[in-house]
Amino acid sequence: MKAGVYRGKGQIAYEEIPDPVVGDHDILLRVSSCGICGSDLHVYSEGWASDGMVLGHEYSGVVAAVGPKVTRHAVGDRLAVIPAVACGNCMACRNGRTNLCEQPAGKAGGYAELVALSEDVTAFPVPETTSMEAAAFLEPLSVAVRAVNQAALNPADAVVVIGLGSIGLSVLQVLRDRGVATIIAADLSPRRLELARRFGADVVLNPLHDDVPARVKEALGHSSHRGYESSRARVVFECSGAGQVVGPAITELVTPGGTIVMVALFERPVTIDPNPLVRKEVSLIGSYAYTAEDWKQAFALLVEERVDVLATVTHRVPLSQVDEAFKMQLNKSDAVKVLVTP
C-alpha cells in the first residue's frame, strides 16, 4: 500500500510499504480522510517522531477486512475512529482519567491507504447522513469538548479563546452550543477570524492591529486587584501555542478567581511570573486528549450537525502530496484545516 512515511524533520515521503497484518481480533480500515493535527505539525517541524513512522490520528474509514474472531465490526462499516486505547489497569485509568493512561495502545497511521486496528479501538458507526470527511473530525472535536469540560463553565461567563486553528475554532463552536454568553476570539489570521465571526464570536481581535488586553477589558469591563488590572473574562482558552501570550493571559485577561485552560502544545519552554497567578488565585490547568464522555459528546455534536467542522476545511490534498499538505498546514495565514485523502 501507499503511505506517508516520516523521514526526519520536515520530511514525509510518499512510499510503498507492506500492507498491514490483520490479526484475529483486528479490523482493516480503508482510510477515507485524515486531518493534519497541530501535534502532527510539531512532530514534522521539530523531529519528535522516529524514522519510518506513519503519522495521522484524525481519521475515518470503511472496514475492508476483519480478523476471524472479530465480533464488533463487519466489512463495509463506516467508522469514525478514536485511535487511542487505554490499558484500563493503571492508576490513571482506575481513577477515570483514561486520557492520562500510563500504557496507552492504539495506533496512528492515518496517512496511509490502510490501517489495521484492534477491534477494541473506539470506533463509532457513521450514519449515512454524516460525511466521512466530517467523521474524521471526531478526534480533534473530542479534544475541544475535553477543554470546555475542564473549564466547568457557567453559561453566563465571558470567555476568551486565543488561537483559532482547528481546535480553537472547535472550542468556540462547543462554547456556542452550550450557550456561553460572551465569546472573544483572537488570532493573527484574517481568514480564521472570519470563521470565528461565522461561528458566533461576539468580538474578534487581531494582535497585529489590536491591543488585545485593552480591547478585552473594554468589551467585558475590568477590575483592579492587588495592583493587577484584569478583564472580567472568567475563562481563557489558550489554543495558540504562542509562549508570549501566556503571561498577559494570567496578568490581564483572566479575572481574579478565573481559569486558564491550556490546550495547545508548545515547542519551547515558557517563562511566566507566578505572582499574579497566586495573588489573583487563577487556576491554570492543562487539557489533554479526551475521555469516553468527551468523545461521546463530540460524536453527538457531529451527527446532530450542532457544529460545522467542514467549514474549517481549506485544503483537500491527495495522499501522494502529503508532504506538500504539511507545508500548506504550516501556512497559518492561508490554511485552517488540511485534509489528506488516499
Model confidence pLDDT, tens digit, residues 145-202: 999 999 989 999 999 999 999 999 999 999 999 999 999 999 999 999 999 999 999 9
3 state SS of 119: coil
Q: Taking the domains of the chain in order of start, what are their residue ranges?
A: 2-136+308-341, 144-286
Tell me: pLDDT of 39 over 90. no
Rounded Cα–Cα distance for residues 95 and 247 (Å): 32
Neighbours of 127 (CB within 10 A): 10
CATH 3.40.50.720 fits 144-286, yes or no: yes
As a whole number of Å, the CA-based R_g of the chain is 20
Whole-structure pTM value: 0.95
Query: Phi and psi (nearest 5°) for 280?
Result: -95, -5
pLDDT in tens, 117-137: 998 888 899 999 999 999 999
DSSP 8-state symbol, 258: E
Domain boundaries 2-136+308-341, corresponding CATH code: 3.90.180.10
Cell of 62: 470503511
Tell me: pLDDT of 228 over 90. no
